[in-house]
Structure 1
Amino acid sequence: MPKIKKYTKKNGTTAYMFDAYLGKDPLTGDKKRTTRRGFKTKKEANIALSKLLVEVDELGLRRNEQITFQEVFEEWFKQHRREVKPTTVYALESKFRRILPFFGPYKMKNISRSHCQKAINAWAQELKTFKDYKIQANQVFRYAMKMDIIKRNPMDYVTMPKLKHEMEYNAELEDKKYYYTREELRSFLEAIQDDDMAYAMFRLLAFTGARKGELYALHWSDVDFDHKTVSLKKTLFHMSGKKQLQTSKTKASRRVVSVDDETLAILKKWRSKQIQRYLTLEIAAPFESDDKQPVFTVYNQMKHDMDYCRLAYLNEKLEQIYKNNPELPQINVHAFRHTHASLLFAAGASIKDVQARLGHTDIQTTMDIYTHVTDEAKEKTAEMFQKYMTF
């Protein structure tokens, strides 16, 4: 409770004053104070203080009653965007374009559990990633609780719908490949070895576990031929129609991986081919500055220059490969990362080894995604058990 204080004015007379804490702004969380002076008596100051505190309580109550989801979102997002990378900001803006029509104009105090459940059900009907939309909307509700705008989070009580494909047996899904075996990978690479750049790219994906964006962002300065390593510490992304580089999201993602001699030889061969292409096209390439020279580039006819690959480049290339080689089992680009993990397990690598090489922050991610092993490893496990059980 604020105290009434007696003080002496410049003219020598005495008066009373108080310094009062008015609480926090319901949206920003900033503390607010006020000082009032010049009261002739202590009683007069006390009356003014009591009146002020009542007004503050009523104003705060009225303010909380009127705050909308849109207002809370804007205040939360203004702070949150300072803590995340531009790509995350871009993704959040996209998600909230779907979230705000459901909640934006409504007062926070009026948003019910039923309202939240209807939103979740609607997202589940049209979005495979509807669970992520729930997570993002939930951040705004939690911020509102933190700011004392609401007492309970209505999103905590929703039931997440199960999608049809999660409940029904799907033979096609059961047969879908998520990685290559050693023999399948060998066949794939043999089929594309005449395409120098594609061969180098898919070889690097399968033999390092690099992500697609990490591969696009590689510069020749990231390849250490002497120490036989590749540095994976940045990624390429597109925002507002422009290609940009940014550091990898987590500390674990920023890693240096060892590379085998054959893969390094393939990269050296590709580098020579790349130089020849630059010379043929009469493009000045900054070979004297490897930190500026991407490992994988495509010709930009408009600028008569070499540029980073488009994000869809490998997807389109893989589609073309399968079209030209229908006998090959089909997987997606990310599955080459799965392939690397699976073959590491088959070769005897530990969970911790795979976690470090693939750049997972949480070991649970490694265990959840990559506990599948190749058929060869499964057979070895059965043989080991049979051998142990033989009397």
Structure 2
Amino acid sequence: MLEKGNNTELFCDYYAMWIEIYKNRAVRKVTMDKYLMTYKWLVRLVPDLKTGDLNRNMYQLLLNQYAEFHERQTVMDFHHQLKGAILDAVDEGLIDRDPTRKAIIKGKTPRAKKIKYLNQFQLQTLIASLELKEKVNWDYFILLSAKTGMRFSETLALTPEDFDFKGQAVSISKTWDYKGNGGFLPTKNRSSIRKIQIDWQTVIQFSELVKGLPPNQPIFVFGKVYNSTVNDKLRRICERCKIPVVSIHGLRHTHASLLLFTGVSTASVALRLGHSSINTTQKTYLHIIQELENKDVDLVMRLLAGLS
């Protein structure tokens, strides 16, 4: 049974204990790493802060200090990672009142992030240059990433039994822990569990490729896998084809962009990408959606002019 804490305990020590008890082995490793990073920042910014001294002013000063080094969204994440522990401390009587109430989230001005993706001609050039041999290679990985928009970890986790060749679909139900020690992990969110339709050419290529392979073993994993290995391969192909260099994640953006330009609805694109919310899709591809809306306005004006 846990001993009751005291409000003279250092807050960073209380937080370390809290994440060990409530978050360790309860969240994904990548999430746990974020909590541990938050702990390191507490040690850096408020090493001498006692739990009982954490009031609204102290908490706001902590957020402000953190905001000097980070963008607003990162500060928001920091706030949420702390809030759970702080509310528990309030419930335990270690802190008198909730110091996170009405907290003001600040942050550095976000840097302009330009999404890199290929147009249809450039993607066709890339695919045409792939060396698709009889055995599995990274060119097949690049092909599947371009045609499905799957995340890197999702594609790595694919096994032969994930393919439904008759139904022309591939099932996403897990990811591969390429940042850790390997092995299957859950998907990023519930919405990431999905089926993606694939074209008949991809069906033919992969039905032959996976013949004789263990049905429940990942087809692209041979020992330790690094994101940089595949991205370096893709970079060399792009340079050889004299097209813009993109990453595997850039192929995911390419896939979504081409679908939107073709007229596929934002909702359908969100489902195909495994986004948890259509808002994520709209926010990520806002520039494309705005461009399409401008085209729609032109079509509406032509229609109305024709009615006069």
TM-score by length of 1: 0.65
In the alignment, the residues of structure 2 paired with residue 122 and residue 315 of structure 1 have an alpha-carbon distance, to the nearest angstrom, of 36
Shift of 1:217: 1.0
Is 1:70 paired with 2:12? yes
Select which of 259, 268, 271 maps to 1:344.
259
* d(CA) in 2 for partners of 1:256, 1:201: 18
- State the Cα RMSD in Å: 3.2
- Map of 1:101 onto structure 2: 44
- How far off its partner does 1:381 sit? 2.2
Match of 2:147 among 196, 207, 210: 207
Q: Find the counterpart in structure 2 of residue 151 from structure 1.
A: 96
**Local SS of the residue matching 1:154:** coil
Give yes or no for contact 1:229–1:259 (8 Å, CA) kept in 2: yes
Question: Is the partner of 1:257 in helix, strand or coil?
Answer: strand
Provide closer, same or farther for how the CA distance between residues 81 and 157 of structure 1 changes in structure 2, counting only shifts above 3 A: same
Q: What SS does the corresponding residue of 1:373 show, helix, strand or coil?
A: helix
Higher relative contact order (Cα pairs below 8 Å, separated by 6+ residues)? 2
**TM-fit CA distance, 1:189:** 2.2
**Matched pairs, number:** 299
Structure 2: any 5+ residue segments left out of the alignment?
Answer: none
Structure 1 counterpart of 2:130, which letter? Q
Q: Partner residue of 1:88?
A: 31
Counting only pairs closer than 5 Å after superposition, residues 274-313 of structure 1 correspond to structure 2 as 287=212, 289-292=214-217, 294-297=218-221, 306-307=222-223, 309-313=225-229
Number of the residue aligned with 1:318: 234
Give how far 1:360 is off.
Answer: 2.2
CA contact under 8 A between 2:154 and 2:176: conserved in structure 1? yes
Larger strand share, 1 or 2: 1
Q: Deviations over 1:304-354 (max 9, x none)?
A: xx32532333233233334444x3123332232222222222333333322
Give the letter for the 2:267 counterpart: K
Aligned equivalent of 1:193: 130
CA contact (8 A) 1:209 1:336 kept: yes
CA distance in 1, matches of 2:38, 2:243: 37
2:158 to 199, 204, 218: 218
Aligned to 2:279, which of 364, 367, 370? 364
State whether residues 181 and 343 of structure 1, in contact with CA within 8 Å, keep that contact through their aligned partners in structure 2. Answer: yes
In the alignment, the residues of structure 2 paired with residue 374 and residue 262 of structure 1 have an alpha-carbon distance, to the nearest angstrom, of 29
1:280 maps to which residue? none
Match 1:254 to one of 193, 196, 211: 193
Q: TM-score, normalised by structure 2?
A: 0.80
Is the CA contact (8 Å cut-off) linking 2:158 and 2:172 kept in structure 1? yes
Q: Residues of 1 paired with 2:121 and 2:213: CA distance?
A: 40
Larger radius of gyration: 1
> Quick one: which of 118, 124, 132 aligns to 2:77?
132
1:265 to 179, 184, 204: 204
Identity across aligned pairs (percent)? 24
Q: Give the deviation of 1:130 after TM superposition.
A: 4.3
Q: Distance in 1 between matches of 2:53 and 2:292?
A: 56
Report the Cα distance in structure 2 between the residues aligned to 1:127 and 1:376, rounded to whole angstroms.
Answer: 31
Alignment partner of 2:184 out of 225, 245, 249: 245
**Aligned position for 1:59:** none
Q: Equivalent residue for 1:230?
A: 170
Distance 1:315 1:124, change over 3 A: farther
Q: Which residue of 2 aligns with 1:18?
A: none
SS of residue paired to 1:243? coil
